[in-house]
Amino acid sequence: MSFFDSVLDASVVLSFDRSGFRRHAKRFVSADMQVSMQGKTALVTGANSGIGFSVSKALAALGATVHLACRDEGRGQRALEAIRAELPSADVHLQKLDVSLLADVRRFADTLPGPVDVLVNNAGVLPDTMTRTREGHEVTFATNVLGPHALTSALMPRLVVAKGRVITIASGGMLTQKLNLHALQGQVAKFDGVVAYAQTKRAEVILSEQWATKQAEVTFSTMHPGWADTPAVRSSLPTFYSMTKSILRTPEQGADTAVWLAVAPRLAGKSGLFWFDRAPVSTHPLGFTKEAPEDREKLWALVETACATLKA
């Protein structure tokens, strides 16, 4: 990376925006994406719009059998029809799944047919008020952390057999957060949706690193998409969107690294890394965000205990 690039990346804005993507794309290796995913099966959560939809369409275009896991069947059906309209030969299927509910994750994992080569944990929420699921978990934590962890665990035997890949969509916002197990669960005096979201994204990255040490047969990756123009950004961060809409990345640009992580042959086995624009980056550019080893272990124990009913 040149000194000029380093200066622009340090600005954050000129790295996370669309100009940053175009600049970073100059180093991409085109051969990485010249692959066939025929015979491979991918599952993408939150696939009805934004980055999840773009990842699903890109994997389908490469020949993968793609399962669109969506909470809202109507939106999922529209996404399915949109992909089929653009890619008539695409092998895509709609699956109903609410990842915020462990019982639904269990039902889904028990009924999903066939192997899983690629799991993309993309579904996420950023509510502005604290609510709890009917299972008693704060919604952000349940959707962004517990559900994806439970789903990954439930599908692990299939992923191991396939020597598969698990990609989790994180966020650059987590780079400002140090893991706080109380805040992560909504145990705060005043709820802040942006902080809660960033805490869950920090937790996702830590859990992926831990998975990488426990399951060598599967490649685990996290990535952040930069600032992309998605329905979730428009609805959850309206002020941010109004200030940055002229420089936001397209959903396809935001999805690019996730697709690359799912398909590039040379990435098999490069597990536990955090990626941005097809390059591994530090999870702690700000030193004060480094969590204690014991807190990492407490996080794993917390989600395993919460998900224990899934394994019963």
> Residue 157's domain is classified under what CATH number?
3.40.50.720
**pLDDT beneath 50: ranges in the chain:** none
Catalytic residue among 141, 197, 211, 276: 197
The residue assigned the tokens 């950004």 is 233
CB 43 within 8 A of CB 119: yes
Residue 7: inside a domain = no
Let me know if residue 80 belongs to a domain.
yes
Domain that holds residue 252: 25-311
What pLDDT is stored for residue 86 in this prediction? 97
pLDDT at 205: 98
Q: What is the pLDDT of residue 310?
A: 67
Answer whether 162's CB lies under 8 Å from 116's CB. yes
Determine, yes or no, domain membership for 3: no
Q: How many CB atoms lie within 10 A of CB 3?
A: 7
Whole-structure pTM value: 0.97
6 occurs within a structural domain: no
- Catalytic site includes residue 197: yes
Extract the tokens encoding 288. 């004060």
Which tens digit of pLDDT belongs to each residue from 222-259?
A: 999 999 999 999 999 999 999 999 999 999 999 999 99
Amino acid at 298: K
User: How many domains is the chain partitioned into structurally?
Assistant: 1
Q: Give SS3 for 91.
A: strand
